[in-house]
Structure 1
């Protein structure tokens, strides 16, 4: 699988359509859901970052997901919240659109961490597990976006905990600790592991797949067709390699039409 990772203030339906010829999943967002997370997002905007800050985040999500109903790519929504209730409501919205709900336990901006969002959740696994369980109750596919290199966090143990709570996908930003992907995959074998950070070509995609990732995601260059084409072909070639030498090549060379 090739996924497009969320980009604050940029990953909307139009962005997802641009990547649809190449990728299988597009994670829109990140979207701040509750008042505390939204206030933190305002702080990010004040210092020049792009953020989605619609008046009604759930209506915005509903509209963006609906706009992809006929697109050849599965949508998802990356969200931030300081409470489980808004997570559950966003997950219900995703369920109506057969979309993935991704809980953001990844962002490291100080404004978000100060209110308990982003990577702060990696240090509060009880709360993160409650968020996952609340989302899973709706029946939608649940992803958790995490990162390596957070002091005091045992990421494989966290992956095990969120998988037990109902997470279907663990989306790992490997930073400069790529081998941790293997540890996450081993700790939560029933979860689908997406690996992220620096994925640009066959070499970088295959490194993560060799560590046991089930798929990779592209972040900042997700609007660059040349990079997406290279990575899509790399993922497709890896899948054919795993299936054996007799597996037929896809006519599109790994690029979805």
Structure 2
């Protein structure tokens, strides 16, 4: 399967509809949903980054997912929070829309990490598992977006812990450690999405050969030439002799 990965300040319903002819899943956001993460997002905006900062972030989640009703693509929403209750609320909204709630344990901006968001969660595995369990209890299909190459973090152990807590999807930014996808896929009973540098057949097939169930496209997700090329590669892989015949390439839930 092919997913469109979230892009702060850019990945909204219109962006998802534009990518719908090529992809199976579009993860909107990321969006800060509690006061601490929103304060951090404002600091990011002040230094020139794009961020979604609506007056009511949960209403934004609801409205954006509603805007994709009837679209030929499944939606998800990538969220950041320093506290668990907004995660639970956002997950309930996602469940109402049959959307994926993606917990952001990925962002590495200092402002977000300082308040306990993003990749900080990878160093606090128990808190991350609590977020996952809360989202799963709210009825949502749960994804965790994580990154490789974080000092002191074992990605395989983290993937196993969040899968045990109820995560359906592990969305891994492999950075420059592409073979790590094989370790994550072996460690966790979850659907594995591989991200970073996916542009063509070669990059998509590399991740799929390592055991990923699908790949995601980040920065070029608004480039139809790239999306068409990757979509064709994913389709071709499904018929490839090394493809696991038991996998249908669809996100569970």
Give the alignment's TM-score, normalised by structure 1: 0.94
Indicate the residue corresponding to 2:191 in structure 1: 192
The yes-or-no answer on 1:72 pairing with 2:72 is yes
Structure 2 unaligned regions, length at least 5 = 244-253
Deviations 1:113-165 (A, max 9, x none): 00000000000000000000000001110000000000000000000000000
Distance 1:54 1:187 in 2: 38
The yes-or-no answer on 1:216 pairing with 2:215 is yes
Indicate the residue corresponding to 2:123 in structure 1: 123
Distance 1:49 1:196 in 2: 21
What SS does structure 1 have at the residue aligned with 2:240?
A: helix
| Deviation of 1:242 (Å) | 4.1
What SS does structure 2 have at the residue aligned with 1:8?
A: coil
| Deviation of 1:241 (Å) | 1.3
Indicate the residue corresponding to 1:255 in structure 2: none
| Deviation of 1:220 (Å) | 0.1
Return closer, same or farther for 1:203/1:243 CA change in 2, 3 Å cut-off.
closer
Indicate the residue corresponding to 1:240 in structure 2: 239
| Deviation of 1:64 (Å) | 0.4
Indicate the residue corresponding to 1:40 in structure 2: 40
What SS does structure 1 have at the residue aligned with 2:161?
A: helix
1:21-32 alignment, distance < 5 Å: 21-32=21-32
Distance 2:72 2:242 in 1: 24
| Deviation of 1:243 (Å) | 8.0
What SS does structure 2 have at the residue aligned with 1:7?
A: coil
What SS does structure 2 have at the residue aligned with 1:183?
A: helix
Indicate the residue corresponding to 1:204 in structure 2: 203
Indicate the residue corresponding to 1:111 in structure 2: 111
Distance 1:115 1:177 in 2: 27
Distance 1:94 1:139 in 2: 8
Structure 1 unaligned regions, length at least 5 = 245-257
What SS does structure 1 have at the residue aligned with 2:146?
A: strand
Indicate the residue corresponding to 2:51 in structure 1: 51
What SS does structure 1 have at the residue aligned with 2:239?
A: helix
What SS does structure 2 have at the residue aligned with 1:11?
A: coil
Indicate the residue corresponding to 1:62 in structure 2: 62
Corresponding pairs, count? 243
1:116-195 alignment, distance < 5 Å: 116-188=116-188, 190-195=189-194
What SS does structure 2 have at the residue aligned with 1:71?
A: coil
- List 4+ stretches of structure 1 deviating above 2 A: none
What SS does structure 2 have at the residue aligned with 1:241?
A: coil
Indicate the residue corresponding to 1:250 in structure 2: none
What SS does structure 1 have at the residue aligned with 2:98?
A: coil
Give the alignment's TM-score, normalised by structure 2: 0.95
Distance 1:146 1:212 in 2: 17
Distance 1:72 1:27 in 2: 14
RMSD: 0.9
